Amino acid sequence: SVRDVDCNKRRKFLYTVPLNKDGGIVAGINIPPVEIPAKELLRLSSPSGRKLALLVNEDRVDHVDGGNGNGNGSSSSSSARQVLEIWSEHGSKLERRCVLPKDLHGKVCTDTSWFGGMCWSPTEEALVYVAEKSTPKTKSFFGGSDADDCTTDGGLVQEGGQYTLGVGRREDWGEKYTSTSLLRLFCISIKSGKVAEVKNCPGENSVLNTDGSFTMGQPIFSPCGSHIIYTAWDAGGGGSMPKRLGSIYCSQRPSSIYCSSVVNLLKQLSNDHSAPPDENLEKDTEFSCLTPNLRLASSPRFSVSNKNIASLAFLGSVNGFDTHAGNVGLFKMDWNIIAKKPGSFKVLVPE
C-alpha cells in the first residue's frame, strides 16, 4: 500500500509477478500494478485457483416517491450493504453475487490476522466466514403481547432484561475489537447463494447479555470438507474471563480450538430457494474441543501429506501468561481424512 497524503488515506495495489517453472521471476516482463478499489474488503482465491471470492461494500440508493405517483418530489436515501462476489474461470467470469443478509448477522470481520477469516471448502462449493452476531430483539416486560412478538426469522422477541442483564445491549466500552465482542461463524453455498449460521458451536445457546459467551474466529475447512476447525475465545461464557472484552491488544485471553460438523448444513444450503426445507435431514453432531489441556490455542492450519492423513498445526500454551504477550509453542495433530476425525497429538516446538 502507498500513503496518499493529499486525500489522507492509503491506496492499495495488486501486483502480478510472472514466474517460470523453476520459481524464478521471468525477466523482461513488467506488469504494472492494479489499484484495488476502496470498497473491496477481502479477496480470496480458491484452492485450485479457478475461482475468486470478493467481499465488497456497496452504497445502495433507495428512491422514495413523494406521493403524487409521477416521481416529482421524490427523495432518496443511501444504505450500505456487503456483497460477496464469486468469480470463476480464473477470475474472468462473474458467477454469482450474494447480498449478505443484515437480519442474520452484522458486518463481516475482515481482520484475517487475528479474529476474522474466510475459507473455501475443498470442493469449492461453499465458504465459511466470520461476522458479528446480531443483537436480539427485545421488548419491555410490561409491554404485553402484540404482533411484533416474533422476529423476521421466526424467533421470539426476548422479554425484559434490558436494564438488569444487559439483554440486547452492545458492548462498546473498554478494550474491544468493534462495537461488539461476539463473533459467529456462517456458511454460504456458491450454488444457491443461501447463508446460514453454524449453530453447533460453544456458547451458541447462551443469551446475549452481560454474562458473556464465546467469540469464534479463524475458521478453516478440514481436508475432507466435513468439519470446520476454528478458534473460540472465552468471552465470559467459559468461566475464565468475567467480562466480554475483545483481545485486539492482548493475546492472553483463554482460547481453544474446536471442530464442528457441517455435513448436513451444507446439504441444506445447497438446495435451491424454490425447494422446500428437508425436514428429514438430521442436524449436525455436537462440537468437540481439540485442545482441552491447553489454556491458549489458536491459528489452526492444515497440511495434507497424503490421501489418508493430514496434519493440523496450531499455536498454543499449556499455562498461558498474565502479560499482554508471551511464549507459545507449536503443536501438531493428525487428522484422519477417511474416518473424518482427529488423531494423535504432538509437540513440535515447546514453549
The DSSP-derived string for 157-188 is PEES-TTTT-TTPPP-SSS-SSS-S-EEEEEE
Has residue 68 been placed in a domain? no
Residue 38 falls inside a structural domain: no
Rounded CA gap, 336 and 351, in Å? 27
Would the pTM count as exceeding 0.85?
Answer: no
Between 31-45, 68-82, 274-288, the lowest mean confidence (pLDDT) is in: 68-82
**CA distances, 195 to each of 20, 60, 131 (Å):** 40, 21, 12
**Highest averaged pLDDT of the listed ranges 98-107, 112-121, 166-175, 255-264:** 255-264
C-alpha 14/C-alpha 52 separation (Å) is 14
CA distance 9 to 3: 6
What percent of the chain stands above pLDDT 90? 31
In a domain, 204, yes or no: yes
DSSP symbol at 208: S
Residue 228 contacts residue 188 (beta carbons within 8 Å): no
Query: Is 244 within 8 Å of 212 (Cβ atoms)?
Result: yes
In the three-class reduction of DSSP (H, G, I as helix; E, B as strand; rest coil), residue 276 is classed as: coil
- Say if 335 falls within a structural domain: yes
Task: Kindly state whether residue 180 falls inside one of the protein's structural domains.
Answer: yes
For 334, the domain range is 100-135+170-349
CB count in 10 Å sphere of residue 41: 17
3-state secondary structure of 142: coil
- CB contact set of 235 (below 8 Å; sequence gap of 6+): 181, 182, 203, 212, 213, 214, 215, 241, 244, 245
In a domain, 159, yes or no: no
Q: How confident is the model at residue 72 (pLDDT cuts 50, 70, 90)?
A: low
Q: How many angstroms separate the CA atoms of 97 and 190, rounded?
A: 9
Q: What is the pLDDT of residue 60?
A: 72
CB atoms within 10 A of CB 350: 9
Of 270 and 71, more confident: 270
CA distance 339 to 195: 28
**Residue range 247-265: average pLDDT?**
82
pLDDT digits (tens, 9 = 90+) for 84-126: 999 998 888 999 999 999 888 888 988 887 788 899 999 999 9
Can you give the pLDDT at residue 212? 62
Q: How confident is the model at residue 181 (pLDDT cuts 50, 70, 90)?
A: low
How many other C-beta atoms lie within 10 A of the C-beta of residue 35? 11
Average pLDDT, the chain: 79
- The domain tally of the chain equals 1
Task: Count CB neighbours of 295 within 10 A.
Answer: 18
Residues 108 and 133 sit within 8 Å (Cβ to Cβ):
no
DSSP code of residue 147: G
CA 308/CA 339 separation, integer angstroms: 9
Is 40 within a domain?
A: no
- Conformational region of residue 339, where left means phi above 0, alpha means psi within -120 to 50, and beta covers everything else: alpha
Q: What is the DSSP string of 94-119?
A: EEEEEEPPTTTEEEE---TTTT--EE
Q: Are 223 and 122 in contact (CB under 8 A)?
A: yes
Output the pLDDT for position 205. Answer: 62
Residue 328 lies in a domain: yes
* Residue 226 banded pLDDT, cuts 50, 70, 90: very high
pLDDT of residue 222: 93
Instruction: Determine the pLDDT at residue 52.
Output: 92
- Could you tell me if 255 and 233 are in contact, meaning their C-beta atoms sit under 8 angstroms apart? yes
53, exposed or middle or buried, with CB in 10 Å at 0-12, 13-18, 19+? buried
160 band by pLDDT with thresholds 50, 70 and 90: low
Q: Is pLDDT of 214 > 70?
A: yes
The percentage of residues in the chain with a pLDDT greater than 70, rounded to a whole number, is: 73
